[in-house]
Amino acid sequence: MNRLAAFPRVRVVVLGDLVADHYLYGQTERISREAPVLIVRHERDEVKLGGAANAAANARALGGRVCAVGVLGDDVMGQALRQRFDERGIRVEAVTSRGVSTETKMRILAGGLSTSRQQMLRVDRGVVGPLPAETRKALARRLARAAEKADVVVVSDYGAGVVCDETRAVIRALARRGVRVCVDSRFALSAFSGVTVCKPNEPELGAMTGLPVSTDREVDAAAKRALDTLGCEALLVTRGRKGMVVYERGQRPVRLPVHGPEEAVDVTGAGDTVIATTALALGAGASFVEAARLANVAGGLVVQKPGTATISRAELARELTP
């Protein structure tokens, strides 16, 4: 609880792919005569902060002083995200360049008249391939400026190009300077070295090390190789229904069982909650194990919510109260 009290003093910079999670809700009653597909009658739309933007939203909901660094297009989804950031009190250092659109994941959810809406289809839009050179340089400058007084930096890499050679160079410089850097990278974990903590899930750990990760012993061996390769201080491996494991150099693994029900309602963005909670806790002076315990509880709470969601500091505090 004392760590939670310090969260509002922690200055967090989140670098990563700012994603618009666009939900389209509708009702379906019949199959089209044009093709064997359901016809969806549109009811409403909703845009939420997704990807690195969701990590920023979680850090803010937990009380942190947050700045998000990334790319937003000069388009409808970019404007919607800027509005959501403003509503939550999150400062944005976003680069906008010609021809670069906002990374968007549109999910179509539909159901019958008196049934809950289920996801039918997801359509992704955004830049394919590397961002323009000038955009990457501008991102590096904005990150360096935003992180001048940061207590902790979160890297939320969804592979959409914001985390690139230029921004990684800034991250390495920050880590050498002693800034706590917490990394969650879906496809390029091996590109990071010397940071504070990395948070792979089992498939990401296996892909990075080339080792099997089916059993506890296999995960332990892969984590040891990852620690040696990355040179980070700690590794937090999320294992779905098997919970989490904290690995620190020279220490025995600490295994944390799943908090709450094993069956999740929706795991969308749960990793964002975990990395944001971990970062805030470390910024508040927690040990790696303390930070992981808080993140484990926050993750257990957020997967009980539908869609892209956050956990507030008040919710976490209530869950931790005996």
Catalytic residue among 17, 21, 184, 272: 272
pTM higher than 0.85: yes
Can 272 be counted among the known catalytic residues? yes
**Which tokens belong to 170?**
């800034």
Domain assignments of the chain as residue spans, ordered by start? 2-320
Locus of tokens 């892969």 = 222
**Which tens digits make up the pLDDT trace of 139-188?**
999 999 999 999 999 999 999 999 999 999 999 999 999 999 999 999 99
The Cα angle at residue 8 between residues 6 and 9, in degrees rounded to 5: 70
DSSP class of residue 214 equals S
Q: Which fold has domain 2-320?
A: UDP-N-acetylmuramoyl-L-alanine:D-glutamate ligase (3.40.1190)
pLDDT band at residue 102 using 50, 70 and 90 as cut-offs: very high
Reduced to 3 states (helix: H, G, I; strand: E, B; else coil), residue 211 is: coil
Rounded to the nearest 10°, the torsion over CA 246, 249, 253, 258 is 0
pLDDT band at residue 1 using 50, 70 and 90 as cut-offs: low
Length reported for the chain? 322
Q: Does the structure show a pLDDT above 90 at 246? A: yes
Which residue type does 296 have? N
Q: Does the structure show a pLDDT above 60 at 54? A: yes
